[in-house]
Amino acid sequence: MTARATARDGALAPRLLAWFDGHARDLPWRRDPSPYRTLVSELMLQQTVVATVIPYFQRFVARWPEVTALAAAGEDDVLAMWSGLGYYSRARNLHRAARAVVERHGGALPSDEQALAELPGVGPYTAAAVAAIAFGRRTFALDGNAARVVARLAGVEAPIDRPATRTQLRVLGQEWVPADRPGAFAEAVMELGATVCTPRAPGCARCPVAARCRAREMARTTEIPARSPRRARKVVRVACARIFREGRVLLVKQRTGLLAGTWGLPARELPQDGASASPARVLVSTLHRLGVEPRSLILAGDVRHVFTHRDVTATVFDATPAADRAGRAAEADRRATDDDVRWVSPHELTTLAVSSFLRKLLEVPAASRLQGPSPTRRPGRGSGRGAKGDKRLESP
């Protein structure tokens, strides 16, 4: 088995490009392309399928049509626009990258791959994709779809998640990039991976380059690409409180972790070893700080949410602030004027940066005797969970 580019690869690019010309999906970032639109779409498309990204992309570029407009925006607004798309560090990075483009490059994205890679949060894949697609640079962008395509075409048996294999795949892919239309070639490879050379049951009969595919020749399209055994997800239990007052719920800004920058319920993680730890007891100090009497807690239910690396079960309690207890509610009010604590109405929930996880927690029917706000979903902002072939399990 040889995993290297060979002379017979010569016809690869023309065949793929001809196929792409006839089969490219009509996607909004392919109409009116610009370096900024390419950057936005490529960051959104990391970890997320095309169908989920389309409405987010359209809203995002309608609100901030140029990189300078995005640079001038507030981070909260950018995160709110990203609500439900998941992997919120992408939004913070995109915003920081826009500011860096204004500060370092006078508001025009650099065309050089290295300068692109030096922008905050722009990794080797995104830098190569923007350089090739937006600036016609002769470089190869290796995302998950492209890695699968190259591994099959070249018959690479090593696990494709290993850094050394990724390097090998990038070098192989780079040898195939044509001098003419390198950006279309990058997109053609991704498109083939997304629509034909799929993880399971690849459509080899429809593949324009099947005759050059080593994995097919060896009848190993099921085994290639190989992956290292997955590490088990960390199982986490948390207790959280829905504290209601006059139809509003108290939310806190998450400062760290996967959901940093989004709004969430006051919550505490339960100790790993604490099979005996009572979720309500664990919440006590958090609630005291917010002026809530732990005695008013009523169990609403459990919610499970599976993130890429964490399997979280949250026990949801409903509570009312102890308005009649001296000072306590006043404390909640004082805290609620801080930047990171807020009483939020159902309507405001549609304008803030909130995760799909929070929406799920708010959808648990209210515990008896309490009335909570019922969050409204924004049109077109589903959980982002995709059907078959989705790249991620659930949006955070």
Residue 199 Cβ, how far from ligand ADE at the closest point, in Å?
Answer: 14
Contacts of ligand ADE in 18-37 (CB under 6 A): 27
Would you call 240 helix, strand, or coil by DSSP?
Answer: strand
User: Does 42 participate in catalysis according to the annotation?
Assistant: yes
Please check whether residue 259 is in contact with residue 396, taking contact to mean a CB–CB distance below 8 angstroms.
yes
Closest to 46 in 3D by CA, of 129, 162, 137: 129
Residue 128 Cβ, how far from ligand ADE at the closest point, in Å?
Answer: 11
Q: How many Å from the N-terminal Cα to the C-terminal Cα in the chain?
A: 41
Q: Which residues of 78-114 are buried (b: 16+ CB within 10 A; e: fewer)?
A: bbbbbbbbbbbebbbbbbbbbbbbeeeeeeebbeebe
Q: Among residues 27 and 73, whose Cβ is nearest to ligand ADE?
A: 27
Interface pattern 140-179 for ligand ADE (x via CB under 6 A) = ---x------------------------------------
Site stretch for ligand ADE (CB under 6 A), options 186-194, 204-212, 237-245, 385-393: 186-194
Q: Which of 127, 132, 172, 194 binds ligand ADE (CB under 6 A)?
A: 194
Site stretch for ligand ADE (CB under 6 A), options 41-49, 230-238, 273-281, 377-385: 41-49
61: contact with ligand ADE by CB under 6 A: no
**Spatial separation of the C-alpha atoms in residues 167 and 227, rounded to whole Å:** 15
Alpha helix positions (H), the chain: 12-23, 35-45, 50-63, 67-72, 75-81, 89-105, 113-117, 124-135, 144-154, 163-176, 182-195, 214-217, 279-289, 328-336, 346-349, 356-363
Q: Among residues 37 and 214, whose Cβ is nearest to ligand ADE?
A: 37
50: contact with ligand ADE by CB under 6 A: yes
Is residue 28 packed enough to be buried (19+ CB in 10 Å), middle (13-18) or exposed (0-12)? middle
Q: Which of 187, 253, 262, 384 binds ligand ADE (CB under 6 A)?
A: 187
Q: Among residues 31 and 304, whose Cβ is nearest to ligand ADE?
A: 31
Contacts of ligand ADE in 104-143 (CB under 6 A): 143
Residue 283 Cβ, how far from ligand ADE at the closest point, in Å?
Answer: 41
Residues composing the chain: 396
Q: Among residues 44 and 238, whose Cβ is nearest to ligand ADE?
A: 44
Q: Among residues 187 and 318, whose Cβ is nearest to ligand ADE?
A: 187
DSSP notation for 270-328: PPTT-TT--HHHHHHHHHHHTT--GGG-EEEEEEEEE-SSEEEEEEEEEE---TTSTTH
Size of the site for ligand ADE (CB under 6 A): 9
Q: Which of these is catalytic: 42, 157, 187, 191?
A: 42
Note the residues at the interface with ligand ADE (CB under 6 A): 27, 41-42, 45, 50, 143, 187, 190, 194
Q: Which residues are catalytic?
A: 42
